């Protein structure tokens, strides 16, 4: 007897494409930048410089992101309807408000140096990076639901890693090599964390988790290699830039794979019959 | 105001699809295309942003060793619709507040508020709600049979030029004027019963008893708490086989129940990384 | 519907659909009730909820079968063998309702000694003329005593008693034979027989429902006769939850038949005069047609009709203008007319609300015929395949000379009027909106056409123009008033102008006029339109609309009581004699002549000459036999297992190059082909409605999985179905709902094709009419589209 209905899926596939991928990616990046800004040690020059770079970049990315979000709406002119209500139970609503609050804080920190503001930005940044994962995991999409803890965790790692990559590239160009060195270490830790989370996720299993893992395995491996490899001094800058590019690519591809495999998982007939707790 | 809903009794369904058509007619919805599927008598295949009732046709083959050809002995038909969940994934997810619980306890999408973010689509555990493509004003009347007089009544995605989410309104507009929803009204055999939920549930329980007495494997789907945090469904069903047969989830889960785990994992990870970062950036 | 007409007296369903809920068992055979009559099926579901057993007998497992308690698959074209088998079973096992049969049927009559049955003549009755392909029906009659009365034997012992002749006639229709011919297992057959018998008798009743699954055969009328015999034997006619529900087709097909769309009838089922019966004068007409029984009132009906047609001009002196009526000169039914068109005999064609190019048989011939016309007028809500025949696939408009006119028709919502449904129920509807655009109502078109013709011929002294000039034609200034038309149909006193209340008011002296006697009473006075009545209830709902005759809902309901006037049982009481009030009372208007009381003038089948239900139809009744006999369809996949006579000897065929007909068995066409409708579609109206078109978006056929495997076909593929006549391309739905059957030791597959498709619309495809040659039954000139033979292959057809 047919286990499913003519191979038709139970669930509706997300209507999400490149813009949501980008939005999630940038959301993670800007959140990560907020954390980096707070971590940067204001007591030394390189740290101070890093903090400024991180803050400005965070603000720029945070400001760009709504544009991308708006572009994916069915009715872009109604973006502001997102702000007509505050629903903490809706990750999307909370996220948009989080982004607003974050952007405001990010703007404030660029002009006001205040420890509490800095901490707030870092907290909101952590939230933002995590929200890009919860936004997915709190849906009926089988892959995402299966990764209810893994995806938010990996999203935080990925966001921080990509943020590190972005500011290290900038710092490299501006000659803040001390910052680059620290950032690369942090980037390595975050990437390693992401790998660990995803390995755990694939071991736990779930619809199309294997496909997700195989799609991100190579980019993440390359990102790790980029950070670990030793090159002669004169190629140092190039390596840094390359490693940054690899990490950011891996970050983007991770989000892309999440969306693509999430969509695929909804199309799998029968995948929605028993939904993950 | 007492809550209203549907009791759809599949044992009374004759698969005439009058409900599907009546819904489209009342709500002025366009067709979803003209594709022959070769899948029993089902050529619309599923609920969509513009198909709010969908009749499923399930051909069940008897395993008869004497038969040279597989023989269908049961042909189940079931008119599916939005479940109007007590705890509705779409409702919780909607960031604009476009989705509301109205005074009848029904889950209603306000098409003039919705901005088409699509978050409800991925948040429905039953695969019901979907987005409707944007339509420009000129084409609107070509797509659907819109009635000029009802232009502004803001009931459907099409009346709002698309680009927003669409699903069963439980005929909010009809209920407001004391009318039965179009699908229930059109159903010739009372397979779709509309009314007060308390009464419907009572009736459903009696019906199940009757059918069990006749040796029919009757069971209710969603009359009581369906689990997964969703609670009872305001549009519930009487089935004669496993829910999967009709493409209904056996164990649906309210997506928002996964939020705490998600936030906790994110927070834990962020904290761990922050400590590591502190060590890296603040070490001298 | 002469199957019912000859059996019971009136050619209509014997009951009303709501009454089905009172049945203990419903046998649906020859109809896809749930799909073609979904709203009426509600009452089948109600019966089921009340515990009735629902049985569906059909070549295909349909949505009706899905809801039935018992489904029996039988081969298309084998129902007489099947039902005859049940008749045989009932008689062999003495399960008939003896008191009923004795009182209300002609079971006890003696059949003439020189009558010969199919048992004696290898499948023919006495009197067959091989050359004329027709019967001399002289011997099909009852034995008369010296006083002219029919001889009977109330003990039912005489071997020539109708019931014994019947017994012998069906004796070879054994369960084994049913299995061989129909492909129904003996176990299932036995189960059904037992179910029917158990649910009939004093306490219980069984209803039959059929539609065109029983009529579109060369022996269609005899299918219905077999059912009638069976229901009479079981005592189920005229009783609640019993009867034979003939489910009518189009929304107003009953009304159309009542008011005579059939070529050989005048309104109210009066026979059209015919040169073949020498009915040139009113007296001659009355001589041949005013028979015993109710038809002794014919003079009042025909004179009133003529008064309605010709008004003042119709006088006693001129025979009420009887000679104005056209006379039939032969068979002018659809199929012969189609051939006459092809042969250039018919020059002009009004097509009003019909689409023969899509729904007709032998589509190629229809199109060729349309090409030969001088002119064609189409009145339709859509530009149909018929209206646009000149631009169809493969046609060259430059070579077609037919002048075509198209009048856009207003639809039901845009006009007032009545619809008459299966219950013979007239229901009025008001127009909801004015006709859209240039569309006009059919009534406007015909009224205006009549007025223009009258103007054209005004002042003419030519005798042949008198009918047109004398025709009464006053229904309003521009738009005719539907109410005025209905009032005229109802009838009025020609002197006072008062509306008539009942057909018993009609007179043969010119003092009354009525357009159709059966409708007299619908508008009983100037202010009342009973078709508007909307007082419903859960019984016969006498206050809802108005049913002919005399607002009676169940025909022959006298039979719901025993001869002494008491109900057969409390459970099944319906109409009974109330001794105290000295009248008939009950749920319905009693079907008896005025003044009838038990034992006096109280025939249950009062329209019959002898007042009895006919197990045996004597003489002039039917062309192909007093009893039904199983013959194979004109083209079949097997030989007739019952008799050497393969086909109905009186069926009409046209063997000509434009109507290539298959041999009676042709191995090149090994499968049974049947056609039918689906819920989602009717004709072009539905094909253009996107909401319906998306539900069944393409022409398709249905086959069983085994045949699919053999032919390498998968569900959804494009295939070609072919007969000798032509090819049809469509999609295919492979489903285990279609079942191969074992017939006479041979495996037989059925290919089913919905007939609703055509070249136009959102949902479209080839019309199945392309495959069906013209073959006609001898009684009602119906086409044979329910059982044919065909071949099927993967892939598209060749271009036309
Ligand atoms: N949706 C819809 N409804 C309609 C119509 C429509 O076009 N669409 N048309 C209307 C009209 S005009 C009519 S006349 C009625 C007709 O109403 P029905 O007669 O109920 O309709 P059909 O589908 O033509 O045929 C009925 C069944 O007969 C079966 N059949 C074929 N051959 C045989 C046979 O030899 N024996 C038996 N026992 N069964 C056989 C077919 O498989 C089919 O299931 O429907 C009316 N209702
Ligand atoms: N193979 C096969 N052939 C069959 C049958 C079958 O079972 N098998 N069934 C047969 C039967 S039972 C029937 S009844 C015929 C049906 O054959 P048709 O009567 O030719 O079929 P329809 O498509 O119903 O045609 C009705 C037409 O009336 C038009 N119309 C609707 N409303 C109005 C109105 O108010 N005024 C006017 N003027 N037009 C209007 C519609 O647009 C449509 O074109 O087909 C027959 N042909
Ligand atoms: S079934 Fe889906 S669309 Fe309907 S109320 Fe529940 S969550 Fe919302
Ligand atoms: S698409 Fe509309 S209804 Fe759905 S969640 Fe977004 S705003 Fe709410
Ligand atoms: S309640 Fe109204 S909107 Fe919902 S399915 Fe029925 S007809 Fe459609
Ligand atoms: S209208 Fe009623 S009977 Fe017809 S398909 Fe819908 S639920 Fe079933
Ligand atoms: S189409 Fe009209 S006539 Fe036919 S079942 Fe439906 S409502 Fe009745
Ligand atoms: Mo018909």
Average pLDDT, chain C: 96
- The ligand 2 atom at the shortest distance from the C-alpha of residue C354 is 20
- Best residue for ligand 3 mutational test, from B104, B129, B226, B230 (most atoms within 8 Å of Cβ): B129
Return the ligand number nearest the Cα of B129.
3
Min distance B66 CA to chain A CA atoms (Å): 18
User: Residue B153: pLDDT above 90?
Assistant: no
User: Residue B138: pLDDT above 90?
Assistant: no
Predicted confidence at residue B158, as pLDDT, reads 87
Record: contact B249-A275, CB cut-off 8 A: yes
Cα–Cα distance between C321 and C307 in angstroms, integer? 9
ipTM: 0.94
pLDDT tens-digit map of C190-210: 999 999 999 999 999 999 999
Cα–Cα distance between B185 and B26 in angstroms, integer? 11
User: Residue B182: pLDDT above 70?
Assistant: yes
pLDDT tens-digit map of B165-177: 999 999 999 999 9
| Residues in chain A within 8 Å Cβ distance of B274 | 35, 39, 122, 126
In angstroms, the Cα distances linking A108 to A44, A55, A128, A163, C549 are 22, 10, 17, 20, 91
Mean pLDDT, to the nearest integer, of A101-125?
95
Is B14 in CB contact (< 8 Å) with chain C?
Answer: yes
pLDDT tens-digit map of C230-288: 999 999 999 999 999 999 999 999 999 999 888 999 999 999 999 999 999 999 999 99
- The ligand 6 atom at the shortest distance from the C-alpha of residue B8 is 7
| Residues in chain B within 8 Å Cβ distance of A98 | none
**Ligand 1 centre distance from Cα of residue C645 (Å):** 28
Min distance C739 CA to chain B CA atoms (Å): 7
Predicted confidence at residue A1, as pLDDT, reads 41
Residue C507: CB within 6 Å of ligand 1?
no
Record: contact A12-B97, CB cut-off 8 A: no
User: Residue A3: pLDDT above 90?
Assistant: no
Mean pLDDT, to the nearest integer, of C677-703?
97
Return the ligand number nearest the Cα of B83.
3
Mean pLDDT, to the nearest integer, of B97-111?
96
Record: contact B267-A130, CB cut-off 8 A: yes
CA atoms in the 13 A half-sphere facing the CB of C65: 19
Residue B130: CB within 6 Å of ligand 3?
no
Residue closest to C644 by CA, chosen among C656, C655, C629, C658: C629
- For A269, residues 6+ apart whose C-beta sits below 8 A from its C-beta are A4, A5, A7, A8, A9, A10
The torsion angles phi and psi of C699, rounded to 5 degrees, stand at -60, 140
The torsion angles phi and psi of C515, rounded to 5 degrees, stand at -75, -25
The torsion angles phi and psi of B186, rounded to 5 degrees, stand at -80, -20
B20-29, B58-67, B144-153, C587-596 — which is least confidently predicted? B144-153
**Ligand 4 centre distance from Cα of residue A13 (Å):** 15
Give the one of C45, C692, C735 whose C-beta lies nearest to B189's C-beta.
Answer: C45
| pTM exceeds 0.90, yes or no | yes
User: Residue B26: pLDDT above 80?
Assistant: yes
Q: Write out residues with Cβ below 6 Å of ligand 5.
A: B 22-23, 26-27, 52-53, 81, 168-171, 181-183
Predicted confidence at residue C158, as pLDDT, reads 97
Cα–Cα distance between B170 and B108 in angstroms, integer? 8
Residue C747: closest C-alpha in chain B = B68
Chains that touch A (3 or more CB pairs under 8 A): B
Cα–Cα distance between B220 and A73 in angstroms, integer? 38
| Residues in chain B within 8 Å Cβ distance of A149 | 261-262, 264-265
Mean pLDDT, to the nearest integer, of C573-599?
95
**Ligand 3 centre distance from Cα of residue A90 (Å):** 15
Residue B191: CB within 6 Å of ligand 6?
yes
In angstroms, the Cα distances linking C146 to A164, C113, C157, C616 are 121, 15, 21, 22
| Residues in chain C within 8 Å Cβ distance of B56 | none
What is the per-residue DSSP string for C645-667?
--S-TT-EE--SGGG----SB-T
Residue closest to C792 by CA, chosen among C750, C735, C758: C750
User: Residue B259: pLDDT above 90?
Assistant: yes
- Best residue for ligand 1 mutational test, from C35, C71, C212 (most atoms within 8 Å of Cβ): C212
Record: contact A145-B117, CB cut-off 8 A: no
Predicted confidence at residue B151, as pLDDT, reads 62
Mean pLDDT, to the nearest integer, of B20-44?
96
DSSP annotation of C258 reads H
pLDDT tens-digit map of C651-666: 999 999 999 988 899 9
Helix axis angle, A177-204 to B259-282, nearest 10°: 150
- Best residue for ligand 4 mutational test, from B120, B128, B129, B154 (most atoms within 8 Å of Cβ): B120
Cα–Cα distance between A120 and A247 in angstroms, integer? 26
Mutation target to probe the B interface, by most B beta carbons within 10 A, among C694, C697, C739, C741 is: C694
Reduced to 3 states (helix: H, G, I; strand: E, B; else coil), residue C210 is strand
Residue B187: CB within 6 Å of ligand 6?
yes
Residue C247: CB within 6 Å of ligand 2?
no
Cα–Cα distance between C345 and A266 in angstroms, integer? 65
**Ligand 6 centre distance from Cα of residue C40 (Å):** 13
Give the one of B17, B39, B69 whose C-beta lies nearest to C680's C-beta.
Answer: B17
* Residue C211 near residue C246 (C-beta atoms within 8 A): yes
Helix axis angle, A150-174 to A18-39, nearest 10°: 70
B68-72, C27-31, C453-457, C576-580 — which is least confidently predicted? B68-72
Mean pLDDT, to the nearest integer, of A172-181?
93
* Burial group, residue B208, by CB count within 10 angstroms (0-12, 13-18, 19+): middle
User: Residue C395: pLDDT above 50?
Assistant: yes
* Burial group, residue A77, by CB count within 10 angstroms (0-12, 13-18, 19+): exposed
Predicted confidence at residue B152, as pLDDT, reads 62
Cα–Cα distance between B50 and B245 in angstroms, integer? 23
E strands, C375-437, are: 375-380, 403-408, 417-420, 425-429
Record: contact C697-B69, CB cut-off 8 A: no
Q: Is the peptide bond before C549 cis (omega within 30 degrees of 0)?
A: yes
Return the ligand number nearest the Cα of B109.
4
Mean pLDDT, to the nearest integer, of C520-544?
96
Residues within 5 Å of ion ligand 8, judged at the Cβ atom? C 249
Residue closest to C469 by CA, chosen among C459, C479, C484: C459
Protein residue with its CA nearest to atom 2 in ligand 6:
B187
What is the per-residue DSSP string for A44-98?
SHHHHHHHHHHHHHHHHHHHHHHHHHHHHSSSGGGGGGGGS---TT-HHHHHHHH
Predicted confidence at residue A2, as pLDDT, reads 46
pLDDT-derived band at C166, boundaries 50, 70, 90: very high
Mutation target to probe the C interface, by most C beta carbons within 10 A, among B36, B68, B143 is: B36
Cα–Cα distance between C495 and C484 in angstroms, integer? 18
Predicted confidence at residue A25, as pLDDT, reads 97
User: Residue B4: pLDDT above 50?
Assistant: yes
Cα dihedral sign for B193, B199, B200, B203? negative
Predicted confidence at residue C800, as pLDDT, reads 81
Reduced to 3 states (helix: H, G, I; strand: E, B; else coil), residue C126 is coil
Residue closest to C610 by CA, chosen among C142, C254, C215, C180: C142
Residue B60: closest C-alpha in chain C = C736
Mean pLDDT, to the nearest integer, of B247-256?
97
CB atoms within 10 A of CB C281: 13
Min distance C40 CA to chain B CA atoms (Å): 8
The torsion angles phi and psi of B229, rounded to 5 degrees, stand at 85, 0
Residue C749: closest C-alpha in chain B = B69
Return the ligand number nearest the Cα of C208.
1
pLDDT tens-digit map of B61-102: 987 766 677 899 999 999 999 999 999 999 999 999 999 999
Record: contact C679-B35, CB cut-off 8 A: no
Cα–Cα distance between A247 and A225 in angstroms, integer? 10
A200 membership: H or E segment, kind and range: helix A177-204
pLDDT tens-digit map of C603-630: 999 999 999 999 999 988 899 999 999 9
In angstroms, the Cα distances linking B176 to A42, B184, C317 are 63, 16, 68
What is the per-residue DSSP string for B94-124?
-SSS-EEE-TTS-EEE-TTT-----HHHHH-
Record: contact A8-B58, CB cut-off 8 A: no
Residue C692: closest C-alpha in chain B = B21
Reduced to 3 states (helix: H, G, I; strand: E, B; else coil), residue B45 is coil
Give the one of B115, B119, B267 whose C-beta lies nearest to A78's C-beta.
Answer: B115
Predicted confidence at residue B62, as pLDDT, reads 84
Residue C341 pairs in a beta bridge with none
| Residues in chain B within 8 Å Cβ distance of C698 | 34, 36
CB atoms within 10 A of CB C407: 18
- For C626, residues 6+ apart whose C-beta sits below 8 A from its C-beta are C115, C125, C140, C616, C617, C618
Mean pLDDT, to the nearest integer, of A146-162?
97
* Residue C83 near residue C230 (C-beta atoms within 8 A): yes
């Amino acid at each position: 007897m047919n286990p499913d209905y003519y191979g038709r899926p139970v669930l509706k596939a997300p209507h999400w494409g490149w813009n949501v991928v980008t939005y999630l990616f940038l959301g993670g990046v800007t959140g990560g930048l907020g954390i980096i800004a707070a971590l940067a040690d204001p007591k030394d020059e390189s740290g101070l410089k890093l903090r400024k770079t991180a803050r400005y970049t965070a603000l720029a990315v945070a400001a760009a992101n709504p544009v991308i979000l708006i572009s994916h709406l069915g009715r872009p002119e109604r973006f502001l309807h997102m702000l007509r209500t505050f629903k903490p139970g809706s990750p999307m609503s909370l996220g948009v408000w989080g982004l607003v609050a974050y952007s405001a804080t990010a703007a404030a920190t660029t002009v006001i140096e205040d420890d509490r503001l800095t901490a707030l930005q870092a907290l909101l940044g952590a939230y933002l990076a995590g929200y890009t994962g919860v936004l997915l995991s709190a849906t009926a999409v089988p892959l995402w639901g299966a990764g209810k803890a893994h995806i938010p965790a990996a999203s935080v790692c990925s966001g921080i890693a990509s943020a590190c990559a972005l500011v290290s590239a900038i710092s490299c160009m501006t000659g803040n090599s001390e910052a680059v060195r620290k950032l690369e270490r942090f980037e390595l830790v975050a990437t390693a964390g992401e790998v660990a989370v995803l390995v755990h996720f694939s071991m736990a299993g779930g619809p199309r988790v294997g496909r997700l893992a195989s799609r991100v395995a190579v980019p993440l491996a390359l990102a790790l290699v980029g950070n670990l490899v030793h090159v002669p001094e004169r190629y140092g800058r190039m390596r840094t830039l390359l490693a940054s590019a690899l990490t950011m690519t891996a970050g983007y591809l991770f989000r892309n794979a999440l969306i693509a495999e999430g969509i695929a998982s909804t199309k799998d007939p029968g995948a929605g019959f028993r939904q993950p707790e | 105001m007492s809550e209203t809903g549907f009791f759809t009794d599949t044992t009374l369904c004759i698969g005439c699809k009058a409900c599907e058509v009546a819904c489209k007619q009342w709500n002025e919805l366009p067709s979803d295309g003209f594709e022959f599927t070769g899948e029993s008598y089902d050529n619309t295949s599923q609920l969509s942003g513009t198909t709010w009732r969908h009749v499923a046709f399930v051909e069940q083959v008897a395993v008869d060793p004497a038969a040279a050809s597989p023989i269908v002995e049961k042909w189940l038909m079931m008119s599916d619709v939005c479940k109007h969940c007590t705890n509705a994934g779409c409702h919780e997810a909607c960031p604009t507040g476009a989705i509301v619980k109205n005074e009848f306890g029904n889950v209603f999408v306000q098409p003039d508020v919705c901005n088409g973010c699509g978050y409800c689509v991925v948040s429905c555990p039953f695969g019901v709600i979907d987005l409707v493509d944007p339509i420009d004003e000129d084409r609107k009347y070509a797509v659907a049979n819109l009635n000029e007089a009802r232009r502004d009544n803001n009931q459907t995605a099409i009346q709002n030029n698309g680009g927003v989410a669409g699903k069963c309104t439980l005929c909010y507009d009809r209920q407001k004027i004391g009318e039965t929803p179009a699908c229930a009204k059109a159903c010739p055999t009372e397979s779709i019963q509309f009314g007060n939920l308390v009464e419907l549930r009572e009736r459903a329980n009696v019906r199940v008893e009757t059918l069990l007495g006749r040796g029919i494997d009757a069971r209710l789907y969603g009359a009581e708490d369906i689990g997964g945090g969703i609670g009872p469904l305001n549009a519930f069903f009487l089935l004669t086989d496993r829910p999967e047969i009709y493409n209904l989830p056996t164990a649906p889960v309210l997506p928002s129940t996964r939020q705490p785990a998600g936030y906790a994992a994110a927070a834990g990870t962020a904290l761990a990384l922050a400590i590591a970062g502190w060590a890296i950036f603040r070490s001298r | 519907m002469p199957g019912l007409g000859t059996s019971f007296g009136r050619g209509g369903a014997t009951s009303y659909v709501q009454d089905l809920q009172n049945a203990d068992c419903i046998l649906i055979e020859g109809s896809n009730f749930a799909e073609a009559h979904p709203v009426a099926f509600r009452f089948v579901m109600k019966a089921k909820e009340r515990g009735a057993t629902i049985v569906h007998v059909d070549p295909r497992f349909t949505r009706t079968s899905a809801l039935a308690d018992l489904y029996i698959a039988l081969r298309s074209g084998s129902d007489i063998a099947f039902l005859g088998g049940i008749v045989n079973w009932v008689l062999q096992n003495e399960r008939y309702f003896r008191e009923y049969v004795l009182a209300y049927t002609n079971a006890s009559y003696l059949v003439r000694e020189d009558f010969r049955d199919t048992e004696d003549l290898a499948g023919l009755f006495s009197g067959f003329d091989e050359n004329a392909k027709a019967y001399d029906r002289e011997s099909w009659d009852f034995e008369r005593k010296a006083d002219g009365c029919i001889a009977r034997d109330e003990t039912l012992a005489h071997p020539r008693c109708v019931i014994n002749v019947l017994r012998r006639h069906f004796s070879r229709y054994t369960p084994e034979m049913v299995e061989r011919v129909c492909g129904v297992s003996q176990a299932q057959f036995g189960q059904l027989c037992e179910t029917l018998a158990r649910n009939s008798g004093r306490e219980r009743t069984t209803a039959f429902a059929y539609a065109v699954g029983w009529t579109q055969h060369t022996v269609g009328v005899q299918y219905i006769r077999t059912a009638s015999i069976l229901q009479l034997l079981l005592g189920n006619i005229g009783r609640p939850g019993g009867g034979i529900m003939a489910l009518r087709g189009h929304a107003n097909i009953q009304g159309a038949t009542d008011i005579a769309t059939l070529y050989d009838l005048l309104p109210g089922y009066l026979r059209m005069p015919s040169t073949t019966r020498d009915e040139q004068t009113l007296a001659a007409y009355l001589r041949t047609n005013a028979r015993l029984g109710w038809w002794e009132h014919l003079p009042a009906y025909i004179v009133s009709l003529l008064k309605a047609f010709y008004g003042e001009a119709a006088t006693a002196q001129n025979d009420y203008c009887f000679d104005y009526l056209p006379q039939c000169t032969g068979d002018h039914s659809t199929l012969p007319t189609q051939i006459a068109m092809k042969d250039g005999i018919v020059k002009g064609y009004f097509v009003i609300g019909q689409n023969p190019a899509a729904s007709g048989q032998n589509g190629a011939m229809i199109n060729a015929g349309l090409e030969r016309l001088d002119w064609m007028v189409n009145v339709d809500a859509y530009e149909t395949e018929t209206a646009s025949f000149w631009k169809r696939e493969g046609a060259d408009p430059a070579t077609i000379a037919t002048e075509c006119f198209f009048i856009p028709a207003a639809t039901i919502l845009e006009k007032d009027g009545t619809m008459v449904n299966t219950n013979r129920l007239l229901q009025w509807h008001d127009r909801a909106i004015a006709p859209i655009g240039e569309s006009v109502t059919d009534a406007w078109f015909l009224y205006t056409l009549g007025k223009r013709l009258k103007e054209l011929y005004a002042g003419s002294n030519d005798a042949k123009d008198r009918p047109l000039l004398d025709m009464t034609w006053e229904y309003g200034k521009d738009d005719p008033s539907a109410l005025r038309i209905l009032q005229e149909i109802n009838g009025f006193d020609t002197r006072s102008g008062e509306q008539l209340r009942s057909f018993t008011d009609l007179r043969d002296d010119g003092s009354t006029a009525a357009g159709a006697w059966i409708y007299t009473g619908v508008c009983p006075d100037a202010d009342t339109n009973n078709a508007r009545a909307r007082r419903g209830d859960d019984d016969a709902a006498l206050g809802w609309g108005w049913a002919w005759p005399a607002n009676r809902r169940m025909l022959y309901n006298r039979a719901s009581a025993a001869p002494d006037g008491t109900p057969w049982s409390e459970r099944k009481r319906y109409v009974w004699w109330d001794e105290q009030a000295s009248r008939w009372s009950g749920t319905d208007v009693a079907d008896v002549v005025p003044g009838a009381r038990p034992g006096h003038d109280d025939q249950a089948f009062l329209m019959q000459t002898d007042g009895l239900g006919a197990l045996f139809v004597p003489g002039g009744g039917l062309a192909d036999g007093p009893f039904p006999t199983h013959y194979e369809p004109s083209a079949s996949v097997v030989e007739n297992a019952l008799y050497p006579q393969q086909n109905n000897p009186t069926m009409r065929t046209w063997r000509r190059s434009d109507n290539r007909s298959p041999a009676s068995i042709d191995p090149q066409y090994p499968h049974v082909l049947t056609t039918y409708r689906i819920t989602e579609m009717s004709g072009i109206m539905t094909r253009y409605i996107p909401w319906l078109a998306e539900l069944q978006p393409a022409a398709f056929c249905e086959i069983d999985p085994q045949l699919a495997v053999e032919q390498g076909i998968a569900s959804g593929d494009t295939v070609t179905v072919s007969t000798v006549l032509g090819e049809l391309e469509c999609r295919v739905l492979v489903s285990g709902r279609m079942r191969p059957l074992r017939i006479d030791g041979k495996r037989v597959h059925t290919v089913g094709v919905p007939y609703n498709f055509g070249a136009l619309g959102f949902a479209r495809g080839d019309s199945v009419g392309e495959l069906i040659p013209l073959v006609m039954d001898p009684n009602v000139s119906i086409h044979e589209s329910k059982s044919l033979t065909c071949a099927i292959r993967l892939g598209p057809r060749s271009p036309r």
